[in-house]
Amino acid sequence: MLQTLGPGASSVDTARAVYQTAGSGCRLRLAGTAMAAILGMVSVAAQAEPVYKYEDRGLITYQDRAPDSKQDEGHSILNNQGVVLEEVLSRQQRREARKRERQEELARIRDRALLATFTTEDDLIRTRDDRIGMLDGLISRLDDRIRILSERLAVVDKRVQMQEKSNGQGKAQESLYAEQHSIQRNIENAWSLIDSKAAERSEVADKFDDDLVRYRELKAERS
């Protein structure tokens, strides 16, 4: 006998009622249909589970979970048919990718700054010449200082030699020895500073040359 269900009955209640009121043959058919549906869902679920493929000490490994982070040197995610769904980079590759992203972002920032700083190519060239001219002027002044110090050192050396000739080796006035050593240190410091500024000049020139090439490229892209 067919059961009467209220308006609030769920689909489960309806299915139960149909099953209970059906004949035995019909029940078997319903049970078989339900079992087929369940098996179908299980099969679909099994097919949806990914397979992880990776290499461990030269051996290709397949498993149903991602490899441990300590041994993960990159792996592939496959479906049950062996089709690659995704390639996961190794830790080293991920670090390198992040480094490249940072470098690319810095390059974009430099490009924006370059265009914002210089309105025309002549502005960039003029700024380069001013910077290099300033360094050349400093190097020239240091060179003059070395020349003056060297002349003063020659005078002091001569006085030391004269006193040592009269009084003996190492017996000139202590003040002369102190001045002699001070001048020598100042000359060495000036030469060291010249070397530093010459290296800085070379770096500035190279940087502005690179900036000029990049500036022309950016302007060409926007024209």
Range of the domain at 70: 51-88
Instruction: Flag whether pLDDT at 160 surpasses 60.
Output: yes
**Residue 3: which region, alpha, beta or left (left: phi > 0; alpha: psi -120 to 50)?**
beta
Question: Which comes out higher in pLDDT, residue 111 or 222?
Answer: 111
Same domain, 181 and 206: yes
Tell whether 110 is covered by a domain. yes
Looking at the fold, whether 132 and 185 belong to one and the same domain comes out as yes
Q: Are residues 107 and 79 in the same domain?
A: no
Q: Has this prediction a pTM greater than 0.75? A: no
Q: What is the pLDDT of residue 44?
A: 47
Residues 60 and 101 in one domain: no
Whether 103 shows a pLDDT value over 60: the answer reads yes
Check whether residue 124 and residue 203 sit in a common domain.
yes
Q: Do 118 and 124 meet the contact criterion of CB atoms below 8 Å apart?
A: yes
Cross-strand partners of 63: 52
At 69, is the pLDDT very low, low, confident or very high (cuts 50, 70, 90)? low
Instruction: Provide mean pLDDT across the span 203-213.
Output: 96
* Residues 184/187/189/190 CA torsion (nearest 10 deg): 170
Clarify whether residues 131 and 103 are in a common domain: no
Mean pLDDT, to the nearest integer, of 45-54? Answer: 70
Identify whether residues 67 and 108 lie together within a single domain: no
Residue 5 belongs to a domain: no
Confidence of residue 47 (pLDDT cuts 50, 70, 90): low
The number of domains in the chain is: 4
166 assigned to some structural domain: yes
